[in-house]
Amino acid sequence: MKKSQICTPEEVHLIEKTRAYVEESLRGETTGHDIHHALRVEKMALHIAAKEGGNPLIVILAALLHDIADWKFHDGNIKLSSRLAEDWLSKWKLPKKSICHICDIIYRISYKGSGVATPMKTLEGKIVQDADRLDAIGAIGIARAFAYGGANSRPLYDPSESPVQHKNFTAYKNSKSHTINHFYEKLLLLKNRMWTDTAKNIARNRHCFMEKFLKEFYREWEGKK
Ligand code: ADP
Ligand code: NI
């Protein structure tokens, strides 16, 4: 599905302006939440939408804007990204209903701990959440986890500290654990939290790659290889 085929010229213009706005807003971001993350999520979400359906304009705009002000870097404020997205989208000729739909996706998208459900109401929301979660696993997911850990002063690993299955968002948000624990607290759980069959298929390989990485990591940690 080519964007030029599915969107009107006005919509293509809005998408291009939004891309530039996101790039400017995320400039200097070094924790794996940069413009390239937004672009990968956009590309993956479109790939999923081509197979599963969904309104491409909603999918593209939600994907591009979903991390515009992530709660992880804004005092845990879960509403800021959707509020900024609403401000941005209100400048354009877009139906109020579409703006609310996009902002609702952005408000709900984030992982909040293994014991916290993150329901998505619409197909478009499920697609963008799947695409965002696919970017948190596999080779890129591993790279992003350690980039995030480094930027947030988290150790690579500490065998004395076991992973925790967080029952609520506050506990997840306040955790300061090492990055290897993050695999057990989030990354390895994502495979079973995908909505669409397309994402489930892609997640399987990426999950496998993370398991291989961890096996190798522990071997090297023990000086066995
Ligand atoms: P979400 O909103 O679901 O957290 P993001 O697009 O913000 O999704 O991606 C989160 C990224 O941040 C993940 O790739 C993950 O590796 C990284 N991350 C978040 N919390 C941690 C953590 N405690 N340790 C290491 N990486 C983390
Ligand atoms: Ni994201």
Q: What is the pLDDT of residue 168?
A: 96
- DSSP state, 68? T
* 142-to-87, 92, 199, 217 alpha-carbon distances in Å: 33, 37, 18, 12
Task: Count how many Cα atoms sit within 13 Å of the Cα of residue 197 in the half-sphere of its side chain.
Answer: 4
Q: pTM for this structure?
A: 0.96
- State in Å: Cα 187 to ligand 1 middle: 9
Q: What is the pLDDT of residue 2?
A: 58
Among the bound ligands, name the one nearest to the CA of residue 178. Answer: 1
Which tokens in the block code for residue 136? 């948190």
Among the bound ligands, name the one nearest to the CA of residue 133. Answer: 1
Residues 6+ apart with CB under 8 A from 217: 157, 180
Chain centroid offset of residue 182 CA: 15
| Closest residue by Cα to residue 121 from 43, 195, 199, 190 | 195
Instruction: pLDDT tens for the chain, 225 residues: list them.
Output: 656 567 899 999 999 999 999 999 999 999 999 999 999 999 999 999 999 999 999 999 999 999 998 887 888 888 999 999 999 999 999 999 999 999 999 999 999 999 999 999 999 999 999 999 999 999 999 999 999 999 999 999 999 999 999 999 999 999 999 999 999 999 999 999 999 999 999 999 999 999 999 999 999 999 986
Q: What is the pLDDT of residue 97?
A: 98
User: Whose Cα sits closest to atom 26 in ligand 1?
Assistant: 145
Among the bound ligands, name the one nearest to the CA of residue 180. Answer: 1
Which of 74, 173, 182 to probe ligand 1 with, by most ligand atoms within 8 A of CB? 182
Cβ–Cβ < 8 Å for 114, 189: yes
Which tokens in the block code for residue 196? 């669409």
- State in Å: Cα 225 to ligand 2 middle: 35
Positive or negative: CA dihedral 214, 220, 224, 225:
positive
- State in Å: Cα 208 to ligand 1 middle: 19
Q: What is the pLDDT of residue 6?
A: 77
Atom number in ligand 1 closest to CA 135: 14
Determine how many CB atoms are found less than 10 A away from the CB of residue 10.
11
